[in-house]
Structure 1
Amino acid sequence: MLTLATWNVNSIRTRLDHLGTWLETHPVDVLCLQETKVTDEQFPQAPWEALGYHCYISGQKAYNGVALLSRSPLTEVSRGFSPVLGSDGVGDLDDQKRVITAKLGDLRILNLYVPNGSSVDSDKYSYKLRWLATLRDYLATLLATETQIHICGDFNIAPGDRDIHDPQGKGNHVMATEPERQALQQILDLGFTDTFRQFTAEGGHFSWWDYRAGSFPRNKGWRIDHHYLSPPLADRARSCTIDAEPRYWEKPSDHAPVLLTLDQP
């Protein structure tokens, strides 16, 4: 089995102990991190190297940032959209560090931190929709030459109403608006499968809970952290689960890890 996980840690330096504890009990093959919030030079590599992981990072000070921790060396590592689409077509979208990809054998792993969007009347919302459209172009280009693509990360989108604790009135709420969901569906229409939904149909399963208003104890969450697989990989999926345990810990990330297991080829 091959085990991959995604986790928005909301500052890797703040969550050092949590991440170390979790990896000791969940020694996944590849861990995809978002919101590391640290420059490459200040990324704490030593703790993960001591646990046997290779580190591949793309960060910036105080905001955003993505990283891959892998037990096996990865190849063809690239950061941002520009290596595939060219800088002219990407514009300013690579200024924020939100995309890192690499290959584990023939498996392409793409780790994403999709913009939140803030509110529907903000420039950040327009930026999010533009970013998602560029992501679709990026994936369509990859699919022209590759078939085994795994996408994961914090998408900041609940794909459907069952992915929100109380969907009523959320139509104008960022992460649940129709334009965001349509943009995500256009990506899935390239052939990708929502792996969690391969195994779990019912609602009530969430990966993010707001820090405010006792959202976690009341399970008032959203499922916005996802694993998506191209067709050859979807047939190899054996499980996809959310591990809410770290959300109970002292000063946790507001996100929980989501784990995926695949059969080896």
Structure 2
Amino acid sequence: MALRVASFNVNGIRACQKRGFEGWLAAREADVIGLQEVRCPVAALPEGVFGDHHLAYDPGTAAGRNGVALLTREAPVAVRTFGAPVLRRAPGETHTELVEPDPGPTLPRELKEFADEGRYVEVDLADVPVTVASLYLPKGGLPADLQEKMAGRMREKPDGGAKFERKMRFLAGFAKQLTRSRKAAAAAGREFVVVGDFNIAHTERDIKNWRGNKNSEGFLPPEREWVSSILSPRTLVDVVRAQYPDTDGPYAWWSWMGQAFERDTGWRIDYHLATPGLARSVTAAGVDKEPSRAERLSDHAPVVVDYEI
């Protein structure tokens, strides 16, 4: 059975809808879509924006921020978050009540401070033995020593490394969470894939201007080392990189500033990380980069992978 899975940071579903999200959704015919930065209260979700897909949405509690969702063809067997209530809605429904998620592996202690931020949702698909997760990982910041070196040159107000340390706590906990979710899926006879915005470019091939970004958040050595630590032929495989082993990119995020989009000065921070069995089933993978700036749906582009289950 063919299974098309897309990951898309929409940078606000209401803004993305105005730019043409529904047209992309209908034309792409994905079976599962992981969304990040939905950034919309449940009651304000645009009617019909998700077409004929079932919705599992963890909106989080921070107004106008975060929010992750999974759209599926069939109602999922189970929906899990970091413990936060979730919206489960069938096509055509309009109710706004959040329900408790299904039980899952014990949440690592490092993730408890992130539980209500709308950063993670996973579902057990009903039609194929696969568990799919959607992730929005914290952006982070610079460590304190780099902030001192860059005094007067930072765009953001120095915070003594607080955002960096917070991101590193998330990474420590999420590595454990990935192991627990992957093993739980295996115990249930399921493959596992996590898609989403990891806010980390793993290697020099994942960022156009890597020399100029050695001291940038999202490309710091500890962040890149963390990505390396969760990948292996036995655990999780970066399936897009596996399809393009010697290619720069394909990038999926470009700044709105300057000519970054036109010059393809991008970052590859949106991933599909799949268990080896699922990774071996990939038949196609790529990025839906729009033809022009005027046609952009978001600052990210969808990352789409076809699996043959």
The TM-score with structure 1 as length reference comes to 0.92
User: After superposition, where does 1:221-260 map in structure 2 within 5 Å?
Assistant: 221-245=266-290, 248-250=293-295, 252-260=297-305
The match for 1:63 is 65
Contact 2:54 2:73 (C-alpha < 8 Å) held by counterparts: yes
Tell me, yes or no, if structure 1 residue 126 matches structure 2 residue 149: no
Name which of 90, 113, 132 aligns with 2:136: 113
After TM superposition, which residue ranges in structure 1, 4 or more long, deviate above 3 angstroms?
86-90, 246-252
Alpha-carbon deviations, 1:147-172, whole Å to 9, x = none? Answer: 31111000111110011111113222
Residue 142 of structure 1: how far off its partner (Å): 2.2
* 1:173 and 2:174 correspond: no
Structure 1 residue 246, shift from structure 2 partner: 7.0
Q: Which segment is superposed worse, 35-44 or 79-88?
A: 79-88
Q: 1:192 aligns with which of 236, 261, 270?
A: 236
Given that residues 5 and 30 in structure 1 are in contact (C-alpha distance below 8 angstroms), is that contact kept between their aligned partners in structure 2?
Answer: yes
Q: Secondary structure at the match of 1:101?
A: strand
1:53 alignment partner AA: H
Residue 206 of structure 2 is aligned to residue 206 of structure 1: no
Q: Which runs of 5+ in 1 are unaligned?
A: none
Find the counterpart in structure 2 of residue 140 from structure 1. Answer: 179
Q: Could you tell me which amino acid in structure 1 is paired with residue 125 of structure 2?
A: L
The reply on whether 1:153 has 2:184 as its aligned counterpart is no
- 1:7-18, aligned counterparts within 5 Å? 7-17=8-18, 18=20
CA-to-partner distance for each residue in 1:214-244, whole Å, 9 max, x for gaps? Answer: 2101111111101011011111111110110
The runs of 5 or more residues in structure 2 that have no matched partner are 85-103, 145-160
Per-residue CA deviation, residues 104-129 of structure 1 (Å, 9 max, x unaligned), is 14201010001111333331111111
Inter-partner Cα distance in structure 2 for 1:138 and 1:80: 9
Q: Distance in 2 between matches of 1:193 and 1:247?
A: 31
Larger radius of gyration: 2
TM-score by length of 2: 0.79
Whether the aligned pair in 1 keeps the contact of 2:137 and 2:197 (CA below 8 Å) is yes
Letter matched to residue 167 of structure 1? W
How many residue pairs end up in the alignment? 262
Q: Is the 8 A contact 2:110 2:169 kept in 1?
A: no
Q: Kindly, what percent of the aligned residue pairs are identical? A: 30
Matched, 1:54 2:54: yes
- Taking a change above 3 Å as real, the CA distance of residues 15 and 263 of structure 1, as seen in their structure-2 partners, is same
Bigger Cα displacement from structure 2, 127-136 vs 114-123: 114-123
For 2:82, the equivalent position in structure 1 comes to 80
Which letter does structure 2 place at the counterpart of 1:40?
V
Structure 1 residue 19, shift from structure 2 partner:
1.1
Report the Cα distance in structure 2 between the residues aligned to 1:143 and 1:26, rounded to whole angstroms: 28
Question: Which is further off, 141-150 or 241-250?
Answer: 241-250
Please report how far the alpha carbon of residue 68 of structure 1 lies from its aligned counterpart in structure 2 after TM superposition.
0.9
DSSP 3-state at the match of 1:64: coil
Distance 1:227-1:251 versus aligned 2 partners, 3 A rule: closer
Map 1:211-222 onto structure 2 (within 5 A): 211-222=256-267
